[in-house]
């Protein structure tokens, strides 16, 4: 049994409740001053404020002095593609000369380049590289993340990626939630046979991922020249039958019906949504699908920004995540993504905190455990080098995380 006390918290700011926050509730945060948090065996036991100390504070095994600073829940990054071989900095000149994301992909670069490199990489090197990413994320205040496969696109490599993630979830302090994204692109060897590729993913790989318990969610890139709405539907229905939660990369470049499908099929989340149309917005609002918005991708691709304000007004729960990957967002700094959410989405600080904590947790089915600071939840929190959350949204380019605590342990 071990207890950790965080004392002398200037301001503790958190959303409340284990549900996705939409509309006005997206902007509601609890703020306590002169607070303290007692964590026992990884779970929050008591939270006090106004200088009152929790019962049992005197006998805590570890005492952390927050020195009057801001404390929030540990951040949740609900969308990453962090297991890959091969960065793509060599594509910069092509990109600067005007080649678009889909042009580079068509020319054999883009995702296909990373697929070739990931197939060549062995388990150990992928494990070490991904562990280093998780360390970096923890240092930036992230305590739970999602990660997708999708740079294998063959049975062996997709399984290798998901095994890396499973082992890291067991061995690294961060919680890692895995998503199978076999339908991320059509690999070169199936260039003229996308139907055959989907068949392989649906009939062979999906059942194996399920049998080996390697992922909770299935995701598909519903995009022009990748998978159309009908193909996406077939793949997601197969995943649903096997018991996977559903996610869709929808309306990133062209609105071809991904967000509408998310509503129709009961997806947990639809992600990107840069080009979402009216029908998609309505379908998501009606079905309560969480929008995972990824402003770092818009920033790096020089694209438009998703209409996050409109989504909040329509009652769609909005989460904000990195999309960390070597092609469209080579940054895993969720703090910078928060700056972008304020500047580009015009989200208010309270709405942003909800987006990177409880709404992100809802998008990966972890809202009972993380995403808020409340008695009974995991003791995941961050002490920030500032006094208020506005400062975090305002300062950019620095890392303001002072200490990250995961399940009651300083990491
Ligand atoms: O979410 N859009 C599809 N997948 C990733 C990018 C993958 C890549 O370019 O390597 C994304 O942006
Ligand atoms: Fe993505």
Judge whether 29 lies within some domain: yes
Please say if the pLDDT value at position 249 is more than 90.
Answer: yes
Model confidence pLDDT, tens digit, residues 355-377? 999 999 999 999 999 999 999 99
Instruction: Give the Cβ contact number of residue 171 at 10 Å.
Output: 11
Q: Do residues 248 and 222 touch, judged by C-beta distance below 8 A?
A: yes
Tokens of 92: 């910069």
- 126: CATH: 3.20.20.140
Instruction: Please indicate, yes or no, whether residues 69 and 184 belong to a single structural domain of this protein.
Output: no
Instruction: Please indicate, yes or no, whether residues 96 and 151 belong to a single structural domain of this protein.
Output: yes
Instruction: Please indicate, yes or no, whether residues 195 and 295 belong to a single structural domain of this protein.
Output: yes
Residue 292: its H or E element: strand 290-293
pLDDT attached to residue 142 = 98
Judge whether 357 lies within some domain: yes
Give the alpha-carbon dihedral of 133, 139, 140, 145, to 10 degrees.
50
Instruction: Please indicate, yes or no, whether residues 291 and 156 belong to a single structural domain of this protein.
Output: yes
Q: Do residues 259 and 251 touch, judged by C-beta distance below 8 A?
A: yes
Q: How far apart, in Å, are the Cα atoms of 150 and each of 94, 118, 164, 168, 187?
A: 23, 10, 13, 17, 10
Quick one: pLDDT band at residue 56, thresholds 50, 70, 90? confident
Count of structural domains within the chain: 2
Domain span at residue 187?
76-362
On the CB side of 182, how many CA atoms lie within 13 Å of its CA? 32
Please say if the pLDDT value at position 1 is more than 80.
Answer: no
The residue among 39, 43, 55 whose CA lies nearest residue 4 is 39
Judge whether 150 lies within some domain: yes
Judge whether 367 lies within some domain: no
Cα–Cα distance measured from residue 150 to residue 152, given in angstroms and rounded to the nearest whole number: 5
Instruction: Please indicate, yes or no, whether residues 111 and 226 belong to a single structural domain of this protein.
Output: yes
Cα–Cα distance measured from residue 177 to residue 216, given in angstroms and rounded to the nearest whole number: 7
**Percent of residues, the chain, with pLDDT higher than 90:** 95
- 60: CATH: 2.30.40.10
Dist. CA 18 → ligand 2 center (Å): 25
Dist. CA 45 → ligand 2 center (Å): 36
User: Which of the ligands is closest to the CA of residue 79?
Assistant: 2
Tokens of 27: 């902007």
Model confidence pLDDT, tens digit, residues 372-389? 999 999 999 999 999 999
Model confidence pLDDT, tens digit, residues 183-211? 999 999 998 899 999 999 999 999 999 99
Quick one: pLDDT band at residue 106, thresholds 50, 70, 90? confident
Instruction: Please indicate, yes or no, whether residues 119 and 246 belong to a single structural domain of this protein.
Output: yes
Cα–Cα distance measured from residue 108 to residue 99, given in angstroms and rounded to the nearest whole number: 13
Residues with CB under 6 A from ligand 1: 81, 110-111, 114, 221, 249, 252, 297, 323, 325-328
Chain mean pLDDT for the chain: 97
Instruction: Please indicate, yes or no, whether residues 66 and 89 belong to a single structural domain of this protein.
Output: no
Instruction: Please indicate, yes or no, whether residues 125 and 245 belong to a single structural domain of this protein.
Output: yes
Dist. CA 180 → ligand 1 center (Å): 14
Cα–Cα distance measured from residue 210 to residue 176, given in angstroms and rounded to the nearest whole number: 17
Domain end marker among 325, 341, 362: 362
pLDDT attached to residue 250 = 98
Q: Which of the 8 DSSP states describes residue 73? A: E
Q: Which residue's alpha carbon is nearest to atom 7 within ligand 1?
A: 327
pLDDT attached to residue 108 = 81
Residue found under tokens 């809202």: 367
Judge whether 259 lies within some domain: yes
Model confidence pLDDT, tens digit, residues 333-354? 999 999 999 999 999 999 999 9
């Amino acid at each position: 049994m071990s207890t950790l006390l965080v004392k002398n918290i200037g301001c503790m700011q958190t959303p409340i409740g284990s549900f996705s926050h939409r509309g006005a509730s997206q902007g509601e945060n609890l703020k306590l001053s002169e607070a303290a948090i007692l964590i026992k065996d990884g779970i929050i036991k008591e939270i006090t404020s106004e200088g009152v100390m929790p019962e049992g504070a005197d006998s805590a095994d570890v005492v952390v002095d927050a020195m009057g600073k801001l404390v929030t829940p540990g951040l949740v990054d609900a969308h990453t593609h962090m297991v890959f071989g091969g960065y793509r900095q060599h594509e910069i000149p092509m990109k600067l000369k005007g080649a678009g994301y889909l042009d580079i992909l068509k020319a054999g670069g883009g995702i296909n380049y990373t697929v070739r490199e990931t197939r060549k990489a062995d388990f150990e090197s992928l494990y070490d590289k991904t562990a280093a990413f998780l360390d970096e994320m923890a240092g930036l205040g992230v305590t739970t993340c999602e990660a997708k496969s999708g740079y294998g696109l063959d049975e062996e490599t997709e399984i290798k990626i998901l095994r890396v993630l499973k082992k890291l979830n067991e061995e690294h302090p961060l919680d890692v939630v895995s998503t199978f994204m076999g339908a991320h692109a059509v690999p070169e060897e199936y260039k003229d046979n996308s139907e055959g590729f989907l068949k392989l993913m649906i009939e062979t790989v999906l059942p194996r991922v399920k049998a080996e318990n390697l992922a909770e969610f299935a995701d598909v890139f519903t995009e022009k020249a990748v998978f159309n709405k009908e193909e996406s539907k077939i793949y997601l229905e197969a995943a649903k039958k096997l018991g996977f939660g559903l996610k869709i990369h929808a309306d990133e470049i062209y609105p071809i019906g991904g967000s509408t499908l998310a509503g129709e099929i009961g997806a947990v989340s639809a992600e990107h949504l840069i080009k979402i149309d009216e029908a998609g917005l309505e379908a998501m609002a009606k079905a309560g699908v969480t929008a995972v918005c990824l402003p770092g991708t818009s920033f790096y691709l020089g694209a438009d920004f998703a209409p996050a304000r409109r989504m909040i007004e329509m009652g769609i729960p909005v989460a904000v995540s990195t999309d960390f990957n070597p092609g469209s967002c080579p940054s895993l700094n969720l703090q910078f993504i928060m700056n972008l959410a304020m500047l580009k989405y015009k989200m208010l600080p309270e709405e942003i905190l909800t987006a990177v904590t409880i709404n992100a947790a809802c998008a990966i089915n972890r809202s009972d455990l993380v995403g808020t600071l409340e008695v009974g939840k995991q003791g995941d929190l961050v002490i920030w080098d500032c006094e208020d959350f506005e400062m975090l949204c305002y300062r950019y380019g620095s890392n303001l995380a002072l200490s990250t605590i995961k399940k009651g342990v300083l990491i």
